Amino acid sequence: MPPRQEIPEIRQNLTRRDLTSAAIALIEREGLSALTMRRLASELDCAPMSLYTHVRSRDALIDAIVDHLIEQLDLQQPGGESWQQLVRQTLDRYRDLAVQLPNSFELLALAPYDSSPVAPHLGNVVAGLEHAGLSREKARQILGIVDAYASGFLVVWARSRARAAAGELADDELGMTGMRDLEMFDRGLEALIAGLDATLVRGELP
Amino acid sequence: MPPRQEIPEIRQNLTRRDLTSAAIALIEREGLSALTMRRLASELDCAPMSLYTHVRSRDALIDAIVDHLIEQLDLQQPGGESWQQLVRQTLDRYRDLAVQLPNSFELLALAPYDSSPVAPHLGNVVAGLEHAGLSREKARQILGIVDAYASGFLVVWARSRARAAAGELADDELGMTGMRDLEMFDRGLEALIAGLDATLVRGELP
DNA sequence: ACCTGAACACCGTTCAAGT
DNA sequence: ACCTGAACACCGTTCAAGT
């Protein structure tokens, strides 16, 4: 009885994408704090150290997750004409991502502007705004401001929502929660666009 | 030779405030990730478990730190008349806190709205805005929107700044950093106030 | 009431070794 | 190239014990 030629017992060909997909699924299921190298490895049925074949460190894993999230954002290219339409479309997709992946969202939203996965993506958006007629300087200023608004709103919205889902709310604390529902996100964005148009784009130097 | 009556070898009377002060100092010196129970204990020259006499858990410690930061914010009471002045003053102090304690700031800025230290503080600001003539509903909406903007802007500003200080910048990544300097914080806030006045306060239902 | 050491169940990561 | 177990230096927190 000859021995079997192939013994494919060991799981091979684990890809970077397998890591980020499993990581995002884990974060959405159990929260950001559940993302540990050991926990992710057990999720992928491999030894903790196997992850380091595909990723240099935990920080590099998080950069890869942010890359993955940015790819999701870029699936539909915006097709607006005015800078206002472009900003609306860009932030709508940003908000949709926060709704779809609330626990992972802050990894993207709070990443420093100069981090390697984020900077090129922001460069693309700035280029789009320039194409819509803004100077590069105004485009950067406007993107910085609307992105700050959207990130701040959606991160705290997602965190408060996670807490509510976990049932950590006392009755007398419920009053403030409604301050930040998603309807207000759109109203605030419209106010911001109107104000930016009046003061930064059409307005003279104050 | 009689034994000494008092042997005050063991450090007593450690207060909650000692914990939060030392914690904030530690965070500013070495970053948020340096805040561990064991590290903080060694900073205070006590055993790790001594901290649990004053604080139920690490999460409770962080709530206490947020309380401490809110007290700093409330040191000067605002004295504006219009809601616009009130918003400006409130956010100026918020920005100053981010400048003064950049590494601790996000503990306050990203705390869920319904968390126990934050909710009463927000209630006070809402009351001030009502006193300036806004309905409670409008006051909440406006506070939610300007706070989202300020938190998002300042947290990413502080994080990017910490990275820059640590010298993690590649040359070709420097372009985006200027997108978010503090001058733009004020310009964005003015745009937001103008837009809110036009669309939410003076404007009819859109 | 306030402080403490030992112990438990976790972390990220280095290293040397396997295929 | 890809995977692995053992080991190291850390975590937060429980428990039983000291003053």
Assigned domain for A169 exists:
yes
Pair A100, A180 in one domain: yes
Do B146 and B92 lie in a common domain? Answer: yes
Instruction: Examine residue A99 and state whether it is found in any structural domain, yes or no.
Output: yes
pLDDT in tens, B115-164: 889 999 999 999 999 999 999 999 999 999 999 999 999 999 999 988 88
Answer whether A180 touches B (CB < 8 Å). Answer: yes
Region B101-113: mean pLDDT is 96
CB contact set of A2 (below 8 Å; sequence gap of 6+): none
Give the span between the Cα atoms of B13 and B170, in whole angstroms: 48
* Within a domain: B72: no
Tell me what pLDDT residue B13 has: 82
Q: Are residues B109 and B187 in the same domain?
A: yes
pLDDT at A7 exceeding the cut of 90: no
Rounded distance between C-alpha atoms, residue B98 and residue A153, angstroms: 17
| A49 CA: nearest nucleotide by C1' | D4
Nearest to B145 among A140, A155, A191 (CB): A191
Q: pTM score, two decimals?
A: 0.91
Whether B7 is in a domain gets the answer yes
Q: If you average pLDDT over residues A17-44, what whole number do you get?
A: 98
Radius of gyration of chain A (CA): 21
Work out the pLDDT band at A197, boundaries 50, 70, 90. Answer: very high
* A40-49, A56-65, B37-46, B70-79: range with lowest mean pLDDT: B70-79
Residues B123 and B184 placed together within one structural domain of the fold = yes
The domain that holds A101 is classified in CATH as 1.10.357.10
By residue range, what is the domain housing residue A7? 1-55
Radius of gyration of chain B (CA): 21
For A155-194, what is each residue's pLDDT tens digit?
A: 999 999 888 887 655 544 555 555 668 999 999 999 999 9
Check whether residue B22 and residue B86 sit in a common domain. Answer: no
Identify whether residues B32 and B2 lie together within a single domain: yes
Query: Percent of chain B at pLDDT above 90?
Result: 76
Identify the pLDDT of residue A4.
Answer: 33
- Per-residue burial over A24-47, b if 16 or more Cβ lie within 10 Å, else e, is bebbbeeebeebebeebbebbebe
Q: Does nucleic acid strand C have an atom less than 7 angstroms from the CB of B49?
A: yes
Is residue B175 predicted with pLDDT exceeding 60?
no
For residues A41 and A93, state if they share a domain: no
Predicted pLDDT of residue A8: 41
More confident residue, A204 or B155: B155
pLDDT band at B3 (very low <50, low <70, confident <90, very high): very low
Q: Which of residues 137-156 of B touch A (CB under 8 A)?
A: 140-141, 143-145, 147-153, 155-156
In this model, does residue B6 exceed pLDDT 50?
Answer: no
A185 occurs within a structural domain: yes
The predicted structure's pLDDT at residue A176: 58
Residue B70 within a domain = no
Same domain, A94 and A167: yes
Q: Based on the domain organization, do B118 and B29 belong to the same domain?
A: no
The answer to the question of residue B60 being in a domain is no
CA–CA separation, B125 and B140 (whole Å)? 9
pLDDT of amino acid B128: 96
Question: Are residues B44 and B102 both part of a single domain?
Answer: no
Task: Judge if B88 and B11 occupy the same domain.
Answer: no
Number of domains in chain A: 2
Mean pLDDT of chain A: 89
Residues of A whose CB is below 8 A from B196:
188, 191, 195
